[in-house]
């Protein structure tokens, strides 16, 4: 019995950590893997931020570049603009995502069924409000292009629901980007 009481909190912590709200959608890796790439460069220069703007784009740019560089270096890719075989670039855009449909977020179902307890459950009502609204998302598309042909050889889209639109927390942003980039580049083959 004591084993179970110790196991439940550990499993709960793992489950909560796994639900980070970050979603990645990588493209097929075949074209990139066939290119036998090792060296890369960034397609665009880092964004200058002389006024220390708190705009999410300016805050995110150096953090994203560092996370991508670290993850690519871990896989054996080398940042060398002189010998670059492929370029890395990104597109950042905010988006909107609808929450759960009201029929899925409440105890009222459109299908005929037997429901012995028809009283309103306040927790279900609160969940319907919380899940039913529009959520803002931060979307980053990482794109890898061949340096010679300039054609796209691979891309991945990283999406995260923004918890607080009005405040940019650098520590949380760094942690989210690091995890998102690690997940996004996990399908990338190691460099030879």
* Model pLDDT for residues 29-76, shown as the tens digit of each residue: 999 999 999 999 999 999 998 888 888 888 889 999 999 999 999 999
- Per-residue pLDDT tens for 73-116? 999 999 999 999 999 999 988 776 655 444 444 445 555 555 56
Contacts of 91 (CB under 8 A, 6+ apart): 140, 141, 143
Q: What CATH number has the domain bearing residue 170?
A: 3.30.160
Where is average pLDDT lowest: 84-88, 130-134, 142-146, 186-190? Answer: 130-134
Q: Is residue 6 part of a domain?
A: no
Residue 13 contacts by C-beta under 8 Å, 6 or more apart in sequence? Answer: none
CA distance linking residue 84 with residue 89, whole number of Å: 13
Examine residue 178 and state whether it is found in any structural domain, yes or no.
yes
Which position has the token pair 């970050």?
Answer: 22
Residue 15 confidence class, pLDDT cut points 50, 70, 90: very low
Consecutive H or E run containing 44 = none
Cα 163 from Cα 181, distance rounded (Å): 19
- Whether residue 1 lies inside any domain: the answer is no
Whether 12 maps to a domain, the answer reads: no
State which residues form the domain around 46.
21-187
Tell me which H or E stretch contains 157.
Answer: strand 152-161
The pLDDT of residue 137 is 77
This prediction has a pTM of: 0.72
Residue 84 is encoded by which pair of tokens? 């670059």
Tally of domains in the chain: 1
What would the mean pLDDT of 121-142 be, rounded to a whole number?
A: 75
Between CA 175 and CA 182 the distance in angstroms is: 11
* pLDDT exceeds 80 at position 16: no
Residue 116 inside a domain? The answer is: yes
pLDDT > 70: percent of the chain: 70
């Amino acid at each position: 019995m004591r084993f179970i009481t110790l196991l439940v909190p550990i499993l709960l912590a793992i489950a909560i950590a796994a639900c980070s709200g970050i979603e990645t959608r990588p493209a097929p890796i075949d074209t990139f893997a066939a290119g036998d790439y090792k060296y890369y460069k960034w397609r665009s220069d880092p964004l200058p931020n002389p006024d220390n703007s708190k705009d999410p784009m300016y805050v995110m740019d150096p953090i994203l570049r560092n996370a991508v560089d670290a993850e690519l270096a871990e896989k054996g890719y080398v940042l060398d603009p002189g010998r670059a075989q492929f370029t890395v670039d990104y597109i950042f855009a905010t988006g909107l995502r609808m929450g759960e449909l009201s029929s899925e977020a409440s105890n009222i179902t459109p299908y005929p069924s037997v429901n012995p307890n028809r009283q309103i459950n306040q927790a279900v009502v609160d969940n319907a409000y919380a899940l039913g609204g529009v959520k803002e998302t931060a979307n980053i598309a990482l794109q890898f292009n061949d340096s010679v042909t300039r054609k796209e050889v691979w891309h991945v889209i990283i999406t995260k629901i923004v918890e607080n639109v009005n405040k940019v927390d650098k520590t949380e942003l760094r942690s989210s980007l690091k995890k998102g980039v690690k997940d996004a580049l996990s399908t990338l083959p190691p460099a030879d």
